[in-house]
Structures are given as C-alpha cells and as structure tokens.
Chain A
Amino acid sequence: MKIDELEQLESEDLSTITSTERRKFLKMGLAITGLYLGGSVLSLTTVRSAHASSGVVPEPGQYPYNPHYSMVIREKLCIDCERCKAACVETNSVPEYGFRTTILERRRALTAGEHETTFMPVLCNHCNRPPCVRVCPTTATWKDKETGIVVMNPSRCIGCKTCMTACPYNARYFKEEIRAVDKCNFCYDTRLSKGKKDTACVEACPADVRIFGNLADTESRVFKLIHAPDTMVWVLRPETGALPNVYYINA
C-alpha cells in the first residue's frame, strides 16, 4: 500500500470516538474500580476495635471483654517439668505430632563462662487484634464475643492454613483427626464451660508459673500481677501489633 493510498483511509485511532462513548467507557471503568476498591478498603479494617495504649498492658477499664481472659506467666519460676504440656494433651486430646502449648529454653551468658537458663512457656496469646482471625476466609476462627477467647469451629475450616501462616506465635497446627486447625482455647470447651475456673495447664503447674484469670476484674490475681509496682511486664513479638493477652513478668 502506498502512502497516498493510506492517507485516503478512514482513521481508526481514538480521535474518532465520540465524547459520549468515551464518557460511558470511563463511567463503567470507574464504577467497577470503585466497587473493588471498596472491597479492598474493607479488607484493611480491623476485626474489632482493639484498645492499644502506650505500653503492652491496656489501661484499667479498657478491656474489650468481660470476663477478659488472660494468662500471666512468671517465667523465672518455670522448671521445665512439662506437666502443663501433659495436662493439656490429656484434657484436649492433643495428638502426638501437635501441641497447644510448649516450653522454649532461653540462654544468656553471664560472667566467667556461666549461663543463665530461663524456660519460657508459650501458647496462643488470644490477641485483641488476632491476625489469624483476620485472614480466615470462612470465619472458622473468631474471638468469642463474651470472653475474647480465640475459638475454632472445626467443621467450618477448609484447611487452607492461612491462620497458621499468619500467627506470629506458632500457636496453631492442623489436627488430622478432626481435619481442622486446632489451637489453645483456654480449655473453653473442656473446663471453663463446665464451671472450672482455670485451665488444665494452670492446674497442673507445680511452680505457680501460669496464672489465669479475668483482667477486667481489678480484684483478680492476673490484674494485680501485671499492675503491681516495680514489675517488668512484657509480651512476645509486640511489633506485630496483635495485642496479645498472655503477659510475661519477672516477679
């Protein structure tokens, strides 16, 4: 085709599109984009308005639940006898390959080649802003509205394991027997709902390391322990913003 023949052809570029057509196209695009943008923004909101304060311990009176169950761990008293683990396994039928709670060992060098060993019990932190709850596609896991315990509905779980990936504390595992993710629920179904006041691990601990109770109750032992003067209180991995409810103290 010659150049002058080409020039005779009707232009197919965008200039031939009428402005009404252009507007229609833009409107459609904006509508669709807006719809999805709305969805994406929704996915960024937190599960429940959680209370954060300057420290890791919320201000008294700012606990979202009542009873607001939590656990205080006096880790320097732990002797790694593992009775808590055994009691948990027995009470909650935890299989051999899994655990709901375990004990980690930390070592720090002292002078003259000596070491100080601390045992650090870990379990689900029943966070106020739980990453596992946010990511679950089928709401198979949620924060119990009354107690704040992070619970599971096994029959709702599709086994995508996103909650396991999201948990900063390695608190979840897939339990083959029920084909669902399993985790610590503060013995909600096995003890608390049956009128018992504490969890199996707390009852089994001979050294009074684990203290369980209602943080919203200013008379409870957990409340008093983490609000006591001259006490160092910390939580694990605070940088993840999960606002955990398991507190570690040095007293």
Chain B
Amino acid sequence: MNSLLAAVLPQEGGLEVPVSGKYNVAIGLMGLLTVVGVAAGIHSLWAGHEHTFGVSREVPWGMLIAAYVFFVVTSTGLCIVSSIGHVFGFANFNPIAKRAVFLSIATIVSGFLVIAFEIENSWRMPVNNVIGANPTSNIWWMGTLYGAYLFFMMIEFIMLQLENHKIATAFGLMGLLTGVVAHSNLGAVFGLLNGREFWHGPYMPIYFITSAAMSGCVAIIFFTYLAYQFNGWKMSESMRESMASVAKFGALMMAVIIFFTSWKMITGVTGNPPGKYEAMQALLSGDYATNFWIGEVALGMIIPFIIILAVKGRSMNALFVASLAGMIGIFFMRYDLVIVGQLVPHYHGMGLVDYPDLLTYVPSLHENLVVLGGIGFCGLLFLMGEKLFRGHLSEDH
C-alpha cells in the first residue's frame, strides 16, 4: 500500500505548493464549510426533512438535487474535456487533462456528499439498489453508472500518476462512455416524466450532455487559474495555449446552449402549451425571471461567451472572469431546471378553487448549509490535490 502511494504521489518535480498562512486559512475555511454542511445534513436526517428542508409534497426536490446535478454535470464535463487530450489525442488539451481528471473525481464525490443528505434513507441504498434493482428506472441506471464512472476515473487517475498511459487511456475511454450514458440517464430522470410538461421530452438528455461539455470547460479554466494564481505559479506557454483552446471549445458549447435555450423558450410559449407555458412564464417574467435573465442568460451564457470571443482566449485574467461568471450562471441553470419543473401544480387548468396557479419553494437554512458544505468539500479536495500532486503537471508523451 505504501509503495503504491509512493508511486502515485509525485515526490519531486512539478510545482510545489508553498506552505503559507494563506494556504492554511483556505484549507481551514473549506474544512469548516464541509464540517458545518455535514453537521446540517446529519441533523436533517435526524430531525426529518419535513422540519429542516424547504421541500414539500408537491415540490419534493429542492436545492440539494440542483446542487447534485451541478456537481455531476461539472464532473461529466471535466471528464469530457480531459478525454479530448488523453483519449482522443488532441495534444493541445493535454496540459489541463490531469487536473481535469482529478477534479472530475472531486466534483462527483462532492455531488455524492450532497445527495447523501437529500435522500432520506441513503444508508439503505447500497443493499436495496442491488436486491431491488429496477432496470426501468433511470435513477437506478444513473446511480449505478455513476458508481462505475467514479471507479473508472479513479483508475485512470492512478494510471496517469504511474505514467501507464495505455491503461489510463482505456479507462479514460470507459469513464467517458459511462459518464455520458450516466449523464444522459440523469437527463432522462427528468425527461421521461410524462406528468411534468416542463421536463418531458428528448430535450433534457441532449441538453444535459451539451451543458456538461460547457461546464467542464468553464470549471477547468476556473480551477486552473485559481491554482496558478493562489500558489504564485507561472503558466507555461503550452498551458496558456491549452487554456485558450478550452475556452474556445467552451464558447462553442455556450453558443449551442444559447441556441437550445432560445428554442426551448420559444416552444414553451408558442400556442401556450398547458403545463409548460406556466413554467416558462415563471422563468421569463415571473418569480424566477431574475434567476433566468441575470443568472442563466447573462452570467451563464452571454457574458462568458462575449469575454472569450473578445480576448480570443488569450488573456488568462479575462478567462477567469468568464469562468467565474459561468460557474455562477451554471448553478442558476441547474437550480431553475430542477425547481421550475415542479412548480406547475398537478391539477392545473381545471378551474379549481383555493388551488395555487404556481407552487413555491424556498431553500431552508439547512439546505443552504449542505450545499455550502458540498462546495467546501470540493474546494478542500481541490486544494489538497494541488499540493499532493504538485500542480497536476502533465509529462510530455
């Protein structure tokens, strides 16, 4: 075990994380967030979601599902971005690949942490998922495949550390395929619900994959810049080139998402399709308009797209601003997608008295804390990864 660890952890070379007060404060802060989040989660399991969460019978999925989706979309995206270099051999994407593989593990683990507190009896999952396996359930496929995905990505990462590129590539490909199928099944968890008009249809799985590719680009720019800036490292020319390529690929994905979103909106309002129209109005001009126009459209699509095009991917500071806006915007996209899809009440359009036109959901303190805990845990893994793996530098091969 020790010899494996010694082989996996680089002893020299790469970039050293200077031990500083700043580093310790950052680790401490992320650790604290994690501890508080986990404590809030355990308290919720103990006291019952009925008392601690903002979810209800009518809106059973809240911000934790949105955060889970955010993390796994990012993870799948990072896997896609890493595979462009490692699996498909586009050398320009190699410099960011090791960090992307590591972060795809960090983000999915953080997603699992959050979902563990969203599921009321998560401890029953390991056994019941096996003895009660339901092949017609998308959520079963999604969970099972993401488990396999995590395994493949971890083997890929270890093999990369051991410089065994052949096996790393094979596992990278398996991770990619599993991730894509798992992720499209996550889209299908929503898309195959006939009773939820806002989600129903082929759009969700397609949107999820495209959106993952976009999220992966944004996330790797965000974390790479942070790592270099925080530790005072200087970016090599090939890294800058790589970041520019990732940014341009990200901008292309943003263009696709802008196109998708436009048509989703247009089909949602044209002819007032029942059930869909009300949800769409909540986004366009109702309670969720700020989330949609400022969060999703401005921060998540337009601002990063324009910045990347304006600097042609060359200014690292500008790319960071674009990725920061993107990360925040993407969180809004996940939140709106999950929540707004549940807001139209079941018996809508029947002329019922004392029946809401649109349901409401407000995340509770506990839910906010668990989400912050997930973000803290992800940050903690990121910081530790930079130190342990010396800046995830890729050897030339």
**Contact surface of A with B, Cβ cutoff 8 Å:** 12, 14, 28-29, 32-33, 36, 39-40, 42-47, 97-98, 104-108, 117, 120, 122, 131, 134-140, 155-162, 164-170, 172-174, 176, 179-180, 236-237, 239-242
Contacts and interface: CB of A to CB of B under 8 A. Distances in A.
Contacts of B131: 138
A156 B125 CA distance: 9
A78 to B, nearest CB: 14
A236 B195 CA distance: 11
A153 to B, nearest CB: 9
B137 A135 contact: yes
B141 A39 contact: yes
A167 to B, nearest CB: 7
Contact of B49 (A43, A157, A165, A174): A174
Interface in B304-356: 342, 345-347, 350-355
Nearest to A122: B347
Given A32-B174, A174-B49, A179-B121, A42 B132 contact: no
Given A40-B181, A104-B352, 7 more contacts: A36-B181, A40-B185, A43-B138, A135-B136, A165-B61, A170-B347, A174-B120
Contact of B128 (A14, A39, A158): A158
A251 to B, nearest CB: 20
Interface of B: 48-50, 55, 57-58, 60-61, 89, 91, 118-122, 124-125, 128-129, 131-141, 143, 145, 170, 173-174, 177-178, 181, 184-185, 188-189, 192-196, 342, 345-347, 350-355
A131 B134 CA distance: 13
A196 to B, nearest CB: 28
B132 A138 contact: yes
Contacts of A173: 57
17 contacts: A39-B181, A43-B135, A107-B352, A131-B194, A137-B132, A137-B134, A137-B140, A156-B124, A158-B119, A159-B120, A160-B118, A165-B342, A168-B346, A172-B57, A179-B121, A240-B195, A242-B194
Contacts of B120: 158-161, 174, 179
A117 to B, nearest CB: 7
Nearest to B120: A159
Nearest to A157: B121
A1 B175 CA distance: 37
A64 B177 CA distance: 39
Contacts of A242: 194-195
Nearest to B91: A12
Contact of A105 (B121, B185, B193, B354): B354
B139 A162 contact: yes
- Among A108, A161, A173, chain B packs the most CB atoms within 10 A around the CB of A161
Nearest to B61: A165
A138 B128 contact: yes
A131 B354 contact: no
Nearest to A139: B132
A98 B31 CA distance: 38
B137 A106 contact: no
